[in-house]
Amino acid sequence: MKKPFGFVVIDKPAGLTSHDCVNRLRRVFGIKKIGHGGTLDPAVTGVLPIAIGDATRLISYLHGSKSYTGIIQLGTNTNTDDIQGEIISSKIWPLISNDNLNDLLDSFRGDILQKPPIFSSVHIKGERAYKKARRGEEFDLTPKKITINQLKLITWSQSRGELVVDVDCSKGTYIRSLARDIGNKLGCGAYLKKLHRTKAYSFNENHSVLLPEKLEFYPENLKPEILSPKNFLKHLSSFKLNSEEELISWRSGRKINFQNNFERLKLPIKDEDSKSDNKNILVIDHKNDIVGIANLDESLIIKPKVVFNAIG
């Protein structure tokens, strides 16, 4: 019987951590080797890709941006920059039109420097920032370069001081920080009231399923579908092994001379969401199964980086 291998995309409910979802799937599939592809705060809902089995070793090779729909509440700052935190200041929001608000949002589009929230998992001298923040310590976080590919104003309510936005952004972007900075630029403060992730890397809402219920035993018909990693690694070139002998050689960690095998390299599919990765190659066996990741060096030698079911 084949070991579970691939991705399950959960529509994460509010109130659970990403690790809670991982633990649930560990019980569902009866294995420990499971990990998520990008933390969501407990209050945040939406697309959470979870790698099953050896697919955990492929998480770092996923490419693509992340997309969210969020509600930003003007007029209040919290210490966490979201609705979960303590209010630290309040002020009346200004009278502003949709056009003026959209012009203001333009300053947050593209490459910008963003300071993470103090209640975040950023490391400060080996310790998470949120642990220092909980102790009431004062510290400053260094702004980091991030990219806002799209920041679209969906609705604006002057009476409630609420704006709904769609955001497509690079990895490492904090939507909480974006809400805070928009409020500060308006001079009234703001916090993130609600957030739903609609896309992570190449995974979107069409791939997502509900988190399985808590059960003592999970029959096969109640287990969520495991999606093939090949569908989400199309930005990688792929190289096919033609025989069982080549597979054994690969699993033994041997290099492959690429010079006489150009026709076996399949180039990646380019799209708007993810740039092609020219360094890493997905290695496929003669049965069309993923057997690892390799690196093609300048001397046209394919060097194993990730080898599944390695020998020796």
Q: Annotated active-site positions, please?
A: 41
Mode of pairing for the β-strands spanning 162-169 and 144-157: antiparallel
Whether the Cβ atoms of residue 34 and residue 60 lie closer than 8 Å to each other: no
- In the chain the beta strands, taken as DSSP E runs, fall at 6-12, 34-36, 45-52, 66-74, 76-78, 87-90, 110-114, 123-124, 127-128, 144-157, 162-169, 190-200, 203-204, 236-240, 256-257, 265-266, 277-284, 290-296, 301-307
Please name the residues in contact with 308: beta carbons below 8 A apart, sequence gap of 6 or more: 54, 57, 251, 290, 291, 292
Residue at token pair 């109130």: 15
